[in-house]
Structure 1
């Protein structure tokens, strides 16, 4: 089964670390990153979709980051 996650963070090194950590755990980049202004908080935010093949059945309560 293929899992999907959308990683988001403010436009800081924390975003790059979050994506790098996911890649190091076997997640693969999916599509282009996004970049948008968060008017409520007055900051730029980044997003990157990632996917991962796992040998498990999907359950809505599964913790995707732990896979």
Structure 2
């Protein structure tokens, strides 16, 4: 589900929804989603023998996502 869909369901504009979400939750919708996905991935890594790339995919992370990009060590 994307920001536009969430905003439409709340009968708000995207901007109004994003601002209200941040006011209530303390994070932007995308920051909240990224944090939630990382929390799920961490829990799965802790409690599952599955490979990390498979877990990343199940958590909604992909190679196009900035937080899914590997560090170059610099």
TM-score range, shorter chain: under 0.3
Return the index of the structure with the highest Cα Rg: 2
Higher strand share: 1
Structure ranking higher on relative contact order (CA contacts 8 Å, 6+ apart): 1
Higher helix share: 2
